[in-house]
A and B are shown apart, each in its own frame.
Chain A
Amino acid sequence: MTSTWAVEAANLGRAFDEAWAIRDLDLRIPAGQRVLLLGPNGSGKTTLLRLLATLLRPTSGSLRLCGFDPLRQGNEVRGRIGLMAHRPLLYESLTAEENLGFYSRMYEVPSPQARSTALLRLVGLEDRAHLRVRALSRGQQQRLALARALLHDPPLLLLDEPDTGLDEEGLAVLGRVLSEEGRTVVMATHQAERGLAWADRVLVLRGGRLSEDRLLRPESAMSRSGAVASEATP
């Protein structure tokens, strides 16, 4: 099932102990669009990404991801999402290869060995494959985290400050991944300058609400997805 919209949120809200982290969010992201998520600390960027990753249930409103309802079709949604967070989400006592092997089995990746090898090469860790994660540097762990997020070739990639701890080589790898055509990417970062270089669209959150929604390259998003450009508010 291919959907025109990677993300469709209507009146989306999430509260923690009666404090709203995300409130009244209406958002549609066409498939293939690259979205930069900006906002000060506490503006709700991470909460929004966790909602999109199905790690949080919405308190209010509705959400569809890649055409599926995450509450009723969780596995269909999760199989189409890759998340790279602040933390690498890796088992420290397992090797890089074992981590990718485990997640390959969980995602039922075809030819897991070949896929793991290809991704380790992509992120420049092929010579570190047999090292335990705790023996890798922070930057290398983040690169491995990127490989984990890409393992099942997800059409929707969510990145929560992925550049934290990445060295120049890691940033170059991230840049190559982000410039790949066809994948919807939502990235939250404080490095606005770097993000603006590849983004098709910028969303700014303040106090859990969408304060700005600007299309930077409407034609590129449309040509990638074949969808109409989303309604951008000035």
Chain B
Amino acid sequence: MTTMALRAGKQTWALVAKDLLVEWRSKEVFSAMVLYVAVVLVIYNFAFEFRRDTVAVLAPGVLWSAVIFAGLLGLGRTFAAEQDQGTLDALLLCPVDRGLIFVGKLLASLLFMLLVQAITVPVFVTLFDVRLSLPALVPLVVLGSLGFAVLGTLFAAMATHTRAREMLLPLLLLPLVVPVVIAGVRGTQVLISGEGSLAVWLNLLAGFDLIFLGVVYALFEYVLEG
């Protein structure tokens, strides 16, 4: 059992490290995500007149819409890049469980999203002049991004085999991640306003993540194989 887990861990890490190295070399996805987030935050900052009494209501929506749509950019390339190079076939030829391919891709996508958010949050706090506890925001952002990345990885794999994959991914994904967006926005509102319970939203996100991790891990084999 331990040997199997060790083997699975090594293969998963090989997948993640490969994706990170490929992205480090090309900077194709990361730079697009960061640029998108920066543009969205700047535009919203000029478009709305944020006051002390409205910032707690409006700013969380701005942050999470930037996070979600930047995440879509990244997730869209997760399998599309493999498909375009033909390396998806080579991955599927490897003697590894499809669940491990899912976990590897999920972790790589999650890392990209969290890296982008490490840049986004300080810019957001500065531009919108919000006061919130950054350590308290971390679990909210991590759990929210995980839920988004779990479903996003599944639908990115499904969309890979279709012609209109760029259109299909948001159509499939966005309706299902509504609970993540709501919990993220409401949790951030709690952090900015200091009113209400953050635990409720963290629990909702954790429950969502656990359920969909199990479901997607079990389904992934059927999604990937032709």
Contacts and interface: CB of A to CB of B under 8 A. Distances in A.
Contact of B22 (A50, A56, A91): A91
B94 A107 contact: yes
Interface stretch (A72-80, A178-186, A208-216, A226-234): A72-80
Contacts of B92: 54-55
Interface in B1-53: 7, 10-11, 14-15, 18, 21-22, 25-26
Given A56-B225, A106-B91, 16 more contacts: A54-B92, A54-B93, A55-B93, A57-B226, A74-B95, A75-B96, A75-B97, A83-B89, A85-B89, A89-B86, A89-B89, A90-B85, A92-B85, A102-B18, A106-B95, A108-B7
Contacts of B85: 87, 89-92
Contacts of A94: 18, 21-22, 25
A81 interface: yes
Contact of A76 (B18, B94, B95): B95
Interface of B: 7, 10-11, 14-15, 18, 21-22, 25-26, 85-87, 89-97, 225-226
Contacts of A83: 89, 93
Given A89-B90, A94-B22, A102-B18, A55 B95 contact: no
Contacts of B21: 94, 98
For chain A, which range describes its interface: under 10, 10 to 19, 20 to 34, or 35 or more residues?
Answer: 20 to 34
Interface string A50-80: 1001111100000000000000001110110
19 contacts: A53-B93, A55-B89, A55-B92, A55-B226, A56-B226, A57-B225, A75-B96, A75-B97, A83-B93, A85-B86, A87-B85, A88-B86, A90-B87, A94-B22, A102-B14, A105-B14, A106-B14, A106-B96, A108-B11
A45 interface: no
A81 B226 CA distance: 18
Contact of A93 (B25, B90, B91, B95): B25
A11 B96 CA distance: 28
A102 B90 CA distance: 11
Closest 9 CB pairs of A and B: A79-B95, A89-B90, A105-B14, A87-B86, A106-B94, A93-B25, A75-B95, A78-B95, A56-B226
Interface centre among B15, B22, B92, B93 (most CB of A within 10 A): B93
Contacts of B90: 89-90, 103, 148
